[in-house]
A and B are shown apart, each in its own frame.
Chain A
């Protein structure tokens, strides 16, 4: 459970010391990418808790989610319709669902001990 937190801290540190800047135009894409990554993290933790983690599914899921979300954001921009809201909505719902499952698994595990 400690590895993700270490990774997050490392990422934040590297991000602070590396001058990465996102132009304003790409801010919506970036927010969607953040959401996709967050969704993948929760999905992965859930899979570990359920002992059904599959590396291939995890990696392809991460990239395909991010790509589709980015495509929706771009397409919505062209059409003038905020389709990327669909991605945000789907990711948001899934993050909370995964969190609920993780919580239940952890509580069950703790109670069994």
Chain B
């Protein structure tokens, strides 16, 4: 029986009547986690979290969700955690977005909450610890990313449920004048065993609010779970099949006007001049607004704004950005493979010396291009600026940052800033950025007291993203006499995502500190090698890079798992057996890999022209293995036929959501593996829309079979871990089918037509 003990200092709890019901709020402010339950949900460092439970007099339970729904099922999963310990009736449960930074430090800040993972690097202060320390000092950051939501909420939201349950039981016992121990709760009804008296939560909420709050609640033994671990229908799906769901682009507020923009296509360029002679007299046009990087038109409809802004001719100061090209960037990345400035992220033994002595060394260089997020809902933000306040409606992953930047751009007091977070039509890391709120407020300041809805076109989106960085990775390895890898040296070269992101938030902070996202999925691979060196060389370009589903894992998974395959081939071993021989100390990884071998019938032969490939990768706390089966024709038509996926998330909350996230992560990664390639020429992105930034569709979607094997290890994330293994599994399958080793994505670059 798990017990959560919290001191008053760390755990500020308030019971209060809200709207005729009971609200239980939790705010945990920056305490050192010296209790066991806390260390189970958090790394060392700052923790601020909250959960809200409201119960009205009819007994309807509303759970406030401090994370954003972008398709990952977070509304449902977090409500399940509360409902489990509250013993609420899940069929009638309601959810709502939690407000930001309320009086209870209504902000969620965990080390992982912004994807500044800081768990690997030792020694120097990293951007992650710096950024989080800084952010924690200034504000509690409420953000959704890094596959953290359920991991972060696991302890506190169950505890929130248990606390509220205890208040209600105490109130019922007092009402009936019976011992608390004789009362039980099921489906939102409190029952006294002796008298058979019962009543739903609604009958006790008022009294419960005046009960003394106790903080030491037993949480359920997992064998007693009635919700956790059992698939629950997602709460957000009904409104998503009728067109009633409200996304950011659907925001409609009184007196609203519409904005469209035309932006400098060259990275780092600024507006020099513009001619709006024709545009300003076009139908519906209200105002033309130049700003640093482009021009906006405000009109009475989006279409009129877009038509007018496209009629404006502009010139730009393009600066140095114009010299950028994908080829040039790749060349610079490759040149830096021999840089003296590598930053070490993992070191054991002496790989350099061992490789110098090795008689048979294997070397390979791998590459990946920039990628765009391409969320289905185009970027948008609605802003209303008044004399002393600003209000924002926006699909976003980081409401606290949005609030912070709205305040800064509108130059109004913090208490006059209001942010409404809508449903997100996809996020994938793109909506953790602040560029849209900055642009929308800049424009809305010129149309005071009227809400301005800024929508980007798909072309704006593809050409002005914060991209997954291009990266190059070199491996040098040698086998020992027993046929396992004795020395492994891996150097990665690319931009720092955390550095780029932090510079956007705090332009005055020039950062050159370690960034674990650059080497995640390379420095922390589970295989044991007697000699290992993993380092990264950071390179800066004007191309902005950002958090793209699985971040560094998205490329390091491809690099490392393809090179493991090369080494297996070199050793003359089966790829799975070869991996297993480096995992003797890791039962968790071994179990996942053996399971995928079993479910995929790994050892049965495939006919000619077909191939199987495997990849094993841990990210965001979950271990995933995938086997891909491909068929390749003589003229390189590739069909990815089937994916077997095995995941160990430690503990399973909503099983069907995990299956859905594996399917989602696989298809997202498969799009990148087959087609994904943002090409830069003359400092601008050549791609512009879906026809030239192609996507997997129904016809190209493989059959996907997912197996959940929760081992009880610490609970892991699910939004991202499905993505990293798919590219190497497919590339390794291509090798098995054809003998061609793919060392650069996408496959389309090598003539494989999906």
Is the A/B pair a real complex?
no
Residues of B at the A interface (CB closer than 8 Å) are none
